[in-house]
Structure 1
Amino acid sequence: MGDPDLLEVLAEEGEKVNKHIDYSFQMSEQSLSSRETSFLINEETMFQKNQQSKDSIFFRDGIRQIDFVLSYVDDVKKDAELKAERRKEFETNLRKTGLELEIEDKRDSEDGRTYFVKIHAPWEVLVTYAEVLGIKMPIKESDIPRPKHTPISYVLGPVRLPLSVKYPHPEYFTAQFSRHRQELFLIEDQATFFPSSSRNRIVYYILSRCPFGIEDGKKRFGIERLLNSNTYSSAYPLHDGQYWKPSEPPNPTNERYTLHQNWARFSYFYKEQPLDLIKNYYGEKIGIYFVFLGFYTEMLFFAAVVGLACFIYGLLSMEHNTSSTEICDPEIGGQMIMCPLCDQVCDYWRLNSTCLASKFSHLFDNESTVFFAIFMGIWVTLFLEFWKQRQARLEYEWDLVDFEEEQQQLQLRPEFEAMCKHRKLNAVTKEMEPYMPLYTRIPWYFLSGATVTLWMSLVVTSMVAVIVYRLSVFATFASFMESDASLKQVKSFLTPQITTSLTGSCLNFIVILILNFFYEKISAWITKMEIPRTYQEYESSLTLKMFLFQFVNFYSSCFYVAFFKGKFVGYPGKYTYLFNEWRSEECDPGGCLIELTTQLTIIMTGKQIFGNIKEAIYPLALNWWRRRKARTNSEKLYSRWEQDHDLESFGPLGLFYEYLETVTQFGFVTLFVASFPLAPLLALINNIVEIRVDAWKLTTQYRRTVASKAHSIGVWQDILYGMAVLSVATNAFIVAFTSDIIPRLVYYYAYSTNATQPMTGYVNNSLSVFLIADFPNHTAPSEKRDFITCSMLCF
């Protein structure tokens, strides 16, 4: 449908519809304004409206189903006449395509301000565009039996849904619809042949390509442009009915109620998802997201069990760890005097002051660390391979095998068609298509690349700022805790390093959220300016920008702690300094792994809690406030379209952010999991809640989304593969350079002399001796002590 003479094409299709539909009323009102038209309609049918149910999804005649709703508010600004003219032209052209419109006057709305334009697609329009879009419809009921229950299925009985919910409709053999071969399809009732998801998809396709005038010599078209200019305030399909009660005749079966009862309730967290019903109601694109999220959650269960077992092993072996025992022993660790951790204000300290921290470090840095890192490398490979298999089976079950060709040929973005001044012959189809030369896009590509680079640089700068914060306040914490006698009781746990690490991680998390908020807005704007050709290109471009930024934003601090912190400290008498002022950060005496665990826990847990609260509370609060403002005339009929109008809009990028959140979590689970075996368990708990939160908000708090098709998770799959490969390398490096397991193995096999307790003496072997007399004056503590021998960790 990329024809530049779109209006003529739509008019031609409208002429076919004219044979079956009487346009006398619609054509007579073309000379009237929208306000005058709505007034006449309401005057003629007021008695019918008063008898209409507030849950009705039909026109006033009770026969024609409402497939889409547009709303607008009187605008008193200087461009009010221009907007009214655009609406009049747009609605006239919609009628020319064969769509039927019914307008509700603002005087009948709850707030007394909003007009509602209800749209119905008659049979001729549906069959015409079903063929254009290549929608597949049933030709014969399938005689292939569904999979039978296996013995294990009876064990999983409590998690199963009733068959009437799991399989709401029979299976059919399908074919692309042809209006000239209608006799081949199973058309029992024209009113119900096309499901509501297909109907709203067809109407939105028309809305997105319908012109509303010519401005500045360019043809303007598409509902999105009208929404952006506030000509219309919203455009949405209707939900089937209330989510808390089933529909009453003559309304069709309320699938929204069924979804709420069997999917969107938190008490059903252990139940499987009604995937076919989700697909039928919201479309394949949203359906495949929940398939992926459910499959990912199932696979996390195995990783969570193994990770929990490794954590329990560390917990049980903590008291018997030879290294911790030596550090805590007053005769061993208590006799080891360590070098100051900062210049001048920090004093010497004894190694046994880190007793509790060394025990806590053993929870995550023990013999099971290597095993779990290897296991997760195998797990991530199996996860991606099994998902490929699940996705292939899903393509067959949902009849999406040849969808990619349709996507490439039909789904041009209206914005691309509007901006194209050139046309080019397609070498394959031999048809003229919109074409945009590369030279017109190059400036925007440069701007896009520069913007992404700038914001990633801001992330790195903010990370350096947090490092400077930790360095600058470390000495303050150290001197304060040393001088305050009341804090000496807890100093064994609240060491200056742990204190600055905790506060620095929290500060870093806050900076991450702030930068992420602003970057989301900028990246969406930049992507639009690139004028992608198809929706697939648009989403791929936005995904790349957002993921690159999110990767640097969320993981840069973890990479720093894992691979850089404590590696360039120097040694007493010749320390390295940041900006020639602050001494480089050292790791905790227990190692940097425990700091990596702390950083990972705060960012991962904080992001998940913040995300779930935002997803649940934000739409709930907005909807409450919107309904509170709207319901000023309680005596008016609070109709189905008004109820949905007061809900929050999911938006075209709503699903994009859901994928981004899941993939970011996948990175936390895989990239640094060797340092935190409980990460899969936290992700599992979060995803169990996430599935129900997403289901609840889609079913109860958001308007119904326009159904759209997808045969896979798209570019996210390539991103997952890239992260899987990177995770194998990062976990190997964590075990090799960040964990203490390699030095222990070297001591065990090369230096140990005690056959009964091979690790005896490891702590002393890992330290080196330094004479404090060799300290330069600017690094030694300000209060000089007598000559003593100082032990220091050897990095």
Structure 2
Amino acid sequence: MSEHLTDVKSVFHKRFANFSSAITNRLWLNAHTNYDCDVLLTFPARIDNNVIIWFLEKFLQLESDIRISIKYHFTTGVYGFYLTFTYERILKGADALQLEKPIKQEFGGGYQAFLFNELEFYQGVEDEDKFFSTQERQSIVLHLLYSIRINEDHILNGIKFKIDQSLIQRGLEKNLIRQIIPLHNKEQLNHLRDIWVWPKNVLKPQPIEDIRQYFGVKIALYFCWLSFYTKALCLPAIYGIYIWYHTGQSQELDDKLFVINAFLNIIWATGFLIFWRRRQAELAYEWNTLDMEQLEETRTTYKGELRRSPVTDKYEPYYPDWKRLLFRCFVTIPMLIINLVLVSFCIVFIIRLQSWIDRQLKAGRLPPLMSLTELFPKVLLALVTTIFDDVYKYVSRWLTDRENYREQRTHDNQIIAKMFAVNFIHLIK
């Protein structure tokens, strides 16, 4: 390790003379590398080299099993760390995450939470390349990166790093680290393209298992639902065409067809939900995710006073619920009410303006050329709706950030709830 640290500073004072290796921002994910890696960590453009050196030194000091390769992006001045860990460390990470892995048949088969001390029981553990899927490896590497804790207080560019803080989380929070993104496996990606994406595969069933192995359960489940939903739509399409063909013959027949169509849609929707739940349960059992709870990492922007957790015995940010409740009662809710009142007032004003213009045109009080003013309220309504929508999105994100939720899912749900309120007003206008 000492040899690595001795040569660290010399790395950042060199610039490659061959500009043919320069790539654009959009190619970071697909950049060809001649070394094994799982995720890419990038720094802000033109950041001080001392910051990059410090992070590199900390990675090597705090995690001896980490593997880092450095690449410089000429066109944007961005450094990237291509990161992975030794296979042994990844196995220990799988133990920490309690990943379910298959057991050898001679030991009973089935699935069991992975235990590093019982390697001999797991099927395929000897194959480093195939034991974990791409998504599993990247999840483990990400967990290990967030688990790297600072071992001493330090001030870097005026930013304090305290003992037991997550190095990655603190760097992202203070914009010393730009982002951490997973890297594609080109060989597997090309395989998916050949068996899934190309038009020649339109009539073939989707390779769900390959999708799950590469992208993970969530993405695979989405495409399963999409396929199931598309097939289910064939039934309402059939009777919908029949009903459409017979409409327009008489008002009495149209009324009957309308009732029949509504009744059939209710039956179809109910049946779709029942059969999809059954299919979802089958997939969950097959993929061994039944009754599995997902453990979410703390959001990188989550702020709070550092306290020692009674569960992990490590320092973690703590933000009291009463502060969040106070902010919601005296800031969030009043701002939402003010916004809704403004939106409603503008909509009512534009509707009345439209009615006034219509009356004036009908009474002939406006010149013929002024007939174009009939479109003015409609254009104004579209502009007001768009402007308020953009402003409200910004306000919703700002309010939710200030409410300071720990989990990303809770954070997203709060934004959706705030956006629903104003969008509901837009829908009923």
Of 64, 77, 86, 1:122 maps to 86
Further displaced range: 174-183 or 222-231: 222-231
Mapping for residues 127-138 of structure 1, pairs under 5 Å: 127-138=91-102
- Distance change in 2, residues 1:177/1:503 (3 Å): farther
1:55–1:236 Cα change, 3 Å = closer
Partner residue in 2 for 1:395: 284
Greater relative CO (CA pairs within 8 A, separation 6+): 1
* Aligned residue number for residue 227 of structure 2: 294
In structure 1, C-alpha distance between the alignment counterparts of 2:300 and 2:346, rounded to whole Å: 39
Map Cα deviations across residues 655-689 of structure 1 (whole Å, 9 max, x no partner): xxxxxxxxxxxxxxxxxxxxxxxxxxxxxxxxxxx
Q: Match for residue 28 of structure 1?
A: 6
Relative distance call for 1:527 and 1:303 in structure 2 (3 A) is: farther
Q: Distance in 2 between matches of 1:72 and 1:448?
A: 34
Tell me if the contact between 1:41 and 1:103 (Cα under 8 Å) persists in the aligned partners: no
- Any idea what the Cα deviations from partners look like across 1:763-791, whole Å, max 9, x if unmatched? xxxxxxxxxxxxxxxxxxxxxxxxxxxxx
Question: How much does 1:257 deviate?
Answer: 1.7
Note if contact 1:102-1:117 (Cα within 8 Å) is conserved in structure 2: yes
Q: d(CA) in 2 for partners of 1:507 and 1:391? A: 46
Q: 2:409 aligns with which of 536, 539, 544?
A: 536
Q: Distance in 2 between matches of 1:505 and 1:389?
A: 47
Give me the whole-angstrom Cα distance separating, in 1, the residues matched to 2:276 and 2:381. 34
1:553-579 Cα shifts (integer Å, max 9, x gaps): 3x323xxxxxxxxxxxxxxxxxxxxxx
Could you tell me whether the CA contact under 8 Å between 1:58 and 1:66 is conserved in 2?
A: no
Distance in 1 between the 2:423 and 2:33 partners? Answer: 42
Whether 1:472 and 2:356 are equivalent positions in the alignment is yes
Cα offsets for 1:396-438 (capped at 9, x unmatched): 122111321x52xx6343544x524345646xx9999765322
Return the alpha-carbon distance in structure 1 between the equivalents of residues 271 and 260 of structure 2. Answer: 17
Residues 532 and 88 of structure 1, relative CA distance in 2, 3 Å threshold: same
Q: 1:187 aligns with which of 107, 115, 125?
A: 125
1-structure distance, mates of 2:6, 2:41: 21
Residue 304 of structure 2 corresponds to 419
The aligned amino acid for 1:70 is L
Partner SS state of residue 40, structure 2? strand
Q: Deviations over 1:692-749 (max 9, x none)?
A: xxxxxxxxxxxxxxxxxxxxxxxxxxxxxxxxxxxxxxxxxxxxxxxxxxxxxxxxxx
Structure 1 residues 351-384: Cα deviation after superposition (integer angstroms, max 9, x where no partner): xxxxxxxxxxx9xx74322222333333333333
* Corresponding residue for residue 37 of structure 1: 11
Residue of structure 1 equivalent to 2:334: 450
Aligned equivalents of 1:124 and 1:449: distance in 2?
51
Q: Which amino acid aligns with 1:437?
A: P
Q: Aligned residues: percent identity?
A: 24
In structure 2, give the amino acid aligned to 1:377. I
CA, structure 1 residues 425+232, in 2 after alignment: closer, same or farther (shift >3 Å)? Answer: closer
For residues 533 and 115 of structure 1, do their structure 2 counterparts lie closer, same or farther at Cα, with a shift above 3 Å needed? closer
Q: Give yes or no for contact 1:222–1:414 (8 Å, CA) kept in 2.
A: no
Asked whether the equivalents of residues 420 and 435 of structure 1 are also in contact (C-alpha less than 8 Å), the reply is yes
Q: Which residue of 1 aligns with 2:42?
A: 71
Cα deviation for residue 181 of structure 1 reads 1.0
Pairing partner for 2:183 from 229, 233, 238: 238
CA distance in 2, matches of 1:175, 1:42: 49
**Does the Cα contact within 8 Å between 1:139 and 1:184 map onto a contact in 2?**
yes
CA separation in 2, counterparts of 1:374 and 1:236?
48
1:102 positional shift? 1.6
Aligned partners of 2:15, 2:86: CA distance in 1, in Å? 20
- CA distance in structure 1 between the partners assigned to 2:349 and 2:203 by the alignment: 44
Which shows bigger deviation, 193-202 or 209-218? 209-218
Q: Does 1:203 align with 2:89?
A: no
> What is the aligned counterpart of 1:100 among 67, 88, 99?
67
Within 5 Å, give how 1:188-337 maps onto structure 2.
188-210=126-148, 213=154, 215-216=159-160, 221=166, 223=168, 226-227=171-172, 229-241=174-186, 254-265=187-198, 271-315=204-248, 317=249, 320-321=250-251
Q: TM-score, normalised by structure 1?
A: 0.44
Q: Tell me, what secondary structure is at the counterpart of 1:193? A: coil
Matches of 1:391 and 1:506, distance apart in 2: 46
Deviation at residue 483 of structure 1 after TM alignment: 9.8
SS at match of 2:138: helix
Give the whole-Å Cα distance in 2 for the aligned partners of 1:269 and 1:469.
Answer: 51
Q: Shift of residue 90 of structure 1?
A: 2.8
- Quick check: 1:208–1:414 contact (8 Å CA) kept in 2? no
Secondary structure in structure 2 of the residue aligned to 1:190: coil
Q: Measured at CA, do residues 194 and 58 of structure 1 come closer, stay the same or move farther in structure 2, by a change above 3 Å?
A: farther
1:676-691 matched pairs, under 5 angstroms: none
Please, which of 89, 95, 98 is the counterpart of residue 54 of structure 2?
Answer: 89
CA distance in structure 2 between the aligned counterparts of 1:279 and 1:124, rounded to whole angstroms: 24
AA aligned opposite 1:91: L
- 1:367 pairs, out of 256, 268, 278, with 256
Shift in Å, 1:321 = 4.7
Question: 1:346-357 counterparts in 2 under 5 A?
Answer: none
8 Å contact from structure 2 (residues 306, 315) kept in 1: no
**Aligned residue in 2 for 1:377:** 266
Distance 1:122 1:112 in 2: 31
Q: Could you say which residue in structure 1 is the equivalent of 2:110?
A: 173
How many angstroms does 1:120 deviate by?
2.2
1:439 CA displacement: 1.8
Q: Which has the larger radius of gyration?
A: 1
User: What secondary structure sits across from 2:235 in the alignment?
Assistant: helix
Computed over aligned residues only, the root mean square deviation of the Cα atoms, in angstroms, reads: 4.1
d(CA) in 2 for partners of 1:304, 1:218: 61
- Bigger drift between 193-202 and 518-527 goes to 518-527
Is the Cα contact below 8 Å between 1:67 and 1:200 reproduced in 2?
yes
Q: Does 1:550 align with 2:423?
A: yes
Which of 456, 460, 464 does residue 344 from structure 2 map onto? Answer: 460
1:101 aligns to what SS in structure 2? strand
Contact 2:304 2:317 in 1 (8 A): no
SS in 2 for 1:421: strand
Q: Give the distance between the partners of 1:57 and 1:132, measured in 2 at CA.
A: 29
Distance 1:266 1:456 in 2: 47
Deviations 1:107-137 (A, max 9, x none): xx45273322221211122012111111222
Say yes or no: does 1:520 pair with 2:393: yes
Return the letter of the residue paired with 1:66.
C
1:518/1:425 Cα in 2 relative to 1: closer, same or farther (>3 Å)? same
CA shift at 1:103, angstroms? 1.4
Q: Which whole-Å CA distance do the structure 1 matches of 2:393 and 2:377 have between them?
A: 24
CA distances 1:143-178 after superposition (whole Å, capped 9, x unpaired): xxxxxxxxxxxxxxxxxxxxxxxxxxxxx8332221
The AA in structure 2 aligned to 1:100 is R
Q: What do the CA deviations read for 1:248-285 (whole angstroms, capped 9, x no partner)? A: xxxxxx22123333433466555543222222222222
Alignment CA distance shift 1:368-1:544 (3 Å): same
Mapped partners of 1:424, 1:24: distance in 2: 34
1:201 Cα deviation (Å)?
1.3
Aligned AA (1:119) = L
Q: Please report the TM-score for the alignment, with normalisation by the length of structure 2.
A: 0.77
Distance 1:469 1:439, change over 3 A: same
**Structure 1: 5+ residue stretches without partners:** 1-22, 60-64, 143-171, 242-253, 323-361, 488-495, 558-795
